[in-house]
Amino acid sequence: MNKIEHIGIAVKDLDASNMVFEKLLGVPNYKIEEVLTEGVKTSFFKSGPNKIELLQGTNEDSPISKFLKKKGEGVHHIAFAVDDIVAEIARLKSEGFLILNETPKKGADNKLVAFIHPRSANGVLVELCQEIRD
């Protein structure tokens, strides 16, 4: 795994939270993107070399809506950049980690993504992401 690619934060109201994070970080978001297949709307901020992703559920069945109902707003996942997501999934699987989607799927921000169940990572939902190169 390479560096932390971004930190994902679950929010109830993306517009309101965009204003909070714009004030907090001193920069406006640079992108809003909806991932229809996941039922989420995302907003990205850059703070120096770091990225923050705000996520709001767009329907009741969205993993974000379920998370908010269970735990409330807050840090939702930590994403790590990887060079080869397929190889990294295989490595983590062989180490005993529970992979939520063994086939990488298309996430926000031009990335292929896969998630590691928090149960196998001390309560932290870990996202692997690989830039889509074409």
CB of 18 to Zn ion, least distance (A): 16
CB of 53 to Zn ion, least distance (A): 5
CB of 4 to Zn ion, least distance (A): 11
Asked whether the CA dihedral 97, 103, 105, 111 is positive or negative, the reply is positive
Q: Which two tokens stand for residue 32?
A: 């809003």
DSSP state of 49: T
User: What letter represents residue 110's amino acid?
Assistant: N
Rg of the chain over Cα atoms, rounded to whole angstroms, equals 14
Our CB check for Zn ion shows the closer of 50 and 94 to be 50
Our CB check for Zn ion shows the closer of 53 and 88 to be 53
Our CB check for Zn ion shows the closer of 4 and 19 to be 4
CB of 37 to Zn ion, least distance (A): 14
Positions that interact with Zn ion (CB under 5 A): 8, 53, 79, 127
Sequence-distant contacts of 86-95: CB under 8 A, at least 24 apart = 88/1, 88/114, 88/128, 89/114, 89/128, 92/116, 92/128
Our CB check for Zn ion shows the closer of 79 and 99 to be 79
Which helix (H) or strand (E) segment holds residue 22: the answer is helix 14-25
